[in-house]
Structure 1
Amino acid sequence: MFADRARIIIRSGKGGDGHVSFRRELYVPNGGPDGGDGGKGGDVIFEVDKGLNTLVDFRYKRKFHAQDGEEGGKKRCHGKNGRDIVLKVPEGTVIMEAGSRKVIADMSEGNSRQVVLRGGQGGNGNMHYATATMQVPKYAQPGKPSQELEIVLELKVIADVGLVGFPNVGKSTLLSRVTNADPKIANYHFTTIHPNLGVVDLEGCKGFVIADIPGLIEGASEGVGLGHEFLRHIERTRVLIHLVDAAGTEGRDPVEDIYKINKELESYNAEIAARPQVIAANKIDAIYVEEGEPDPIEKLKNEFESQGIRVFPVSAVSGKGVKELLYYVQELLDTLPQEKMVFEQEFFPEDELMIEELPFTVTQDEENEHLFIVEGPRIEKMLGYTNLDSEKGFVFFQKFLKDSGILEELESAGILEGDTVQMYGLQFDYYK
């Protein structure tokens, strides 16, 4: 079974809590704090497996999570770190945040391993908090929370050349002739349900990778049929070969076919439609021209070569004209930049998940009009990530209050200077 798209939920491990304990030894009745640190939570890692060519492993299991870190122990014992989870994907997989569809990682062009979600850091045990004035600290730092994210995985094949055309024009036949690929070939619509890749070896040239993109139909750019599933595989290609049935064996006009395919490409992604194109007029051995009728090859040449698009008459069955087509495609590739298309990162989980749009509430205490309570998962997450004992953490906390709209909400609720703000176990006086 082939699958080139999956939607899953991933979660890193929570950091283990720091431990609160004190030395209790013979003749040392009042020993100092010896609570150990919590272990780090496991990361969520994606890794390329070149033996894979499908995302089917993610079709039936949707949730993946790394192991939580263990709590610290007494006698300064450090909690065990949580195990990472490594998810194997085919080369060419693009990882995107599900809501915004912003790119998190493109697993191609040397990017074979990437940490997508980092586990929470373990909390400090109470052994870190002993001071000259506080020799018996009865508190420890909680482990930082895990991160959770819903993502979309999309496999976008890595090929130099995309072979496009309506169903039954001979794409699979041509691919099997010019490469070592072994596609299934039959005469019905959507014979090819996933891209086939093959390597073209040309004497005196370095050759190139070609992908047989499944047959398009009108409305493909709007998702009709399997349109979006197929069109995404064209995104990395640098040259497109339009294969048309020049003999019109199914009653279609090859000139109209070219315009219809270009219209779908334009609707899906104008930049793809602007890439160099070549027309392969296939099935020339089946062409029969009655006296007085126009030659379909000449008709194609008159229509498209004036637009700078070369037309090559070929027969995928006999191989006639195929070599000339391939050498021309190689010449085109040699004139284009060699860099492969890589989707740049747009979504940074570590930054965006810290101050994500989670809800919070601001309420005035019913019994004490000078007390304002701020609660909600957004506040809990922020407090879990922030060490308010450090100067940097306190500056971040102040910025968070302003940027997240909490100060504005407090002022709307009627808070005055000197009133108290309570956030779970934290209290502070409000001053502008």
Structure 2
Amino acid sequence: MFIDEATIRVRGGRGGNGVIHFVSGPKNPRGGPDGGNAGDGGSVLLEASRNVSTLYRFRHRPLFEAENGVNGSRNNKQGATGADLVVDVPLGTIIKDTTTGEVLADLSRAGDQMLVAEGGEGGRGNSSFVTSRKQGPRICERGLGGEARTLKLELKLIADIGIIGFPNVGKSSLISSISGKKAKIADYPFTTLVPNLGVVDVDGKDQFVAVDVPGLVEGAHEGKGLGDRFLRHVERTSAFIHMIDLAPMEERDPIEDYDAINHELASFKPHLAKRPQIVVGNKSDAVSAEALQDIQSRFLERGIDLLAISVATGENVRALVHRAFYLLQGVRTKEEPEALSVRKKIYRFEGETGFSVVREDDMLVVQGKTVENLVKKLVLDSFDAQEYLGNRLEKMGVLKELRKQGWTGTEMIRIGEIELELEG
């Protein structure tokens, strides 16, 4: 089965925990705090790589998690940062937010990276809370969890020229012949269930990339046959080799087949039908000279020079390669990566520095990412930590806003999901 899209979950590593510890021993009789800070969690990045060509493996591994940060320890030892997880994706992978449908990045160049889940911040140990007024603080922080995202990946193959046509016209045989790509071939429609990408050598001097797109049928742009998902794979090609069957097993007309395929291209994306084409009639060895001349004359009436080839015998196959190369020389300009294709793009929601206070079920609730993370991180089992939190909330203006909302300084409040009692 061909897979050109996948949904994955990504999660950054959790930050490690800071530690409370005090020096003790004959070498330092006065003691003092020496609890070290923890390491941040690792991040998850997606990287465009030439080493992978499909999204198949993502169906078997839907969750990608980076390494957690290491806890701090005594003697002011910093915990190690969790290792980033770099996940290879094929060139041409589009990353979308499943919630909004927004296109976040288009990784079209080898080495393009996108940070999709940032690791959580590591907590601080008590040595980081020393002040001139508090020389022995009993305060430490927990690490925060890493970002979690659900993403949709879509793959558009990147090729110079697309080989298009009805099923069973010989597209797979052609790409096998001109590129050495071993495609599955048989005498029945829809043999090709995946696009075959091949590098075509031109006299040992030049190359171009061709893609054999699975056979299209009338109504493909509406999802019929193998569906419009295969039409996506021709969007980036600079030109087409449009193959016509000169000796079809069914009673079909070459001109009608030609028109039908162009109709599907135009219905999917109008500009595709205007893209340069080399019209090729395959199986010239299976028709009479008179029949071939009649077909070529009908195309010529439309101003189309039909090139008759036989993939089976090799007739005119190299001529087709040269014609395709020279066509590409004229129409192909290597596109600069689109604005969405970026290096080290950071995917995160806009940072929140503000907060709000609302009343829910007779309780005042403080909301805001910064203040919620402050409370999540602090280990509030000591007077020092509670005092530190109160001072921070005062400086941030949270307590002032609570008082405006009727807080007396004695009732419970909730910050995020944590209920606590503060002295006002």
TM range (shorter): 0.7 to 0.9
Could you tell me how far apart the structure 2 residues matched to 1:382 and 1:91 are? Answer: 40
Q: Give 2:129's aligned residue.
A: 129
Moved more, 269-278 or 207-216: 269-278
Q: Give 1:251's aligned residue.
A: 251
Q: Secondary structure at the match of 1:267?
A: helix
One-letter amino acid matched to 2:223: G
* 8 Å CA contact retained: 1:103, 1:343: no
1:26-425 residue pairs with structure 2 within 5 A? 26=26, 31-47=31-47, 50-111=50-111, 114-203=114-203, 206-287=206-287, 295-303=294-302, 305=303, 310-340=305-335, 342=337, 344-345=339-340, 350-352=347-349, 362-364=358-360, 366=362, 372-374=364-366, 380=372, 417=404, 419-420=406-407, 423=415, 424=418
Q: Secondary structure at the match of 1:199?
A: strand
Deviation at 1:38, TM superposition (A): 0.9
The answer to which structure, 1 or 2, has the higher relative contact order (CA under 8 A, 6+ apart) is: 2
Could you tell me how far apart the structure 2 residues matched to 1:101 and 1:272 are? Answer: 24
* 8 Å CA contact retained: 1:246, 1:297: no
Change (3 A) 1:289 1:201: closer
Moved more, 332-341 or 21-30: 21-30
* 8 Å CA contact retained: 1:48, 1:88: yes
* 8 Å CA contact retained: 2:49, 2:110: no
Deviation at 1:113, TM superposition (A): 5.2
Deviation at 1:265, TM superposition (A): 2.2
Deviation at 1:41, TM superposition (A): 0.6
Q: Give 1:404's aligned residue.
A: none
* 8 Å CA contact retained: 1:247, 1:288: no
Q: Secondary structure at the match of 2:32?
A: coil
One-letter amino acid matched to 1:350: Y
Could you tell me how far apart the structure 1 residues matched to 2:18 and 2:67 are? Answer: 17
Moved more, 199-208 or 140-149: 199-208
Say how many residue pairs are matched.
Answer: 395
Deviation at 1:364, TM superposition (A): 4.8
Could you tell me how far apart the structure 1 residues matched to 2:21 and 2:276 are? Answer: 70
Deviation at 1:128, TM superposition (A): 1.7
Deviations 1:155-188 (Å, cap 9, x if unpaired)? 3323211001110111112222222222221111
Could you tell me how far apart the structure 2 residues matched to 1:325 and 1:87 are? Answer: 39
The normalised TM-score by structure 1 is 0.77
Could you tell me how far apart the structure 1 residues matched to 2:23 and 2:29 are? Answer: 8
Moved more, 238-247 or 248-257: 248-257
Identity score, percent:
37
Q: Secondary structure at the match of 1:272?
A: helix
Deviations 1:76-129 (Å, cap 9, x if unpaired)? 122232233333334443333333444444444232655432312312222122
The normalised TM-score by structure 2 is 0.78
Could you tell me how far apart the structure 2 residues matched to 1:379 and 1:85 are? Answer: 29
Change (3 A) 1:215 1:382: farther
Could you tell me how far apart the structure 1 residues matched to 2:189 and 2:86 are? Answer: 38
Deviation at 1:346, TM superposition (A): 7.8
Deviation at 1:273, TM superposition (A): 3.5
Q: Secondary structure at the match of 1:209?
A: strand
Could you tell me how far apart the structure 2 residues matched to 1:243 and 1:361 are? Answer: 66
* 8 Å CA contact retained: 1:354, 1:381: no
* 8 Å CA contact retained: 1:145, 1:381: no
Could you tell me how far apart the structure 2 residues matched to 1:53 and 1:300 are? Answer: 37
Could you tell me how far apart the structure 2 residues matched to 1:172 and 1:43 are? Answer: 41
One-letter amino acid matched to 1:265: L
Could you tell me how far apart the structure 1 residues matched to 2:150 and 2:286 are? Answer: 52
CA RMSD of aligned residues (A): 3.9
Could you tell me how far apart the structure 2 residues matched to 1:416 and 1:276 are? Answer: 71
Change (3 A) 1:26 1:257: same
Change (3 A) 1:165 1:373: same
Q: Secondary structure at the match of 1:58?
A: helix
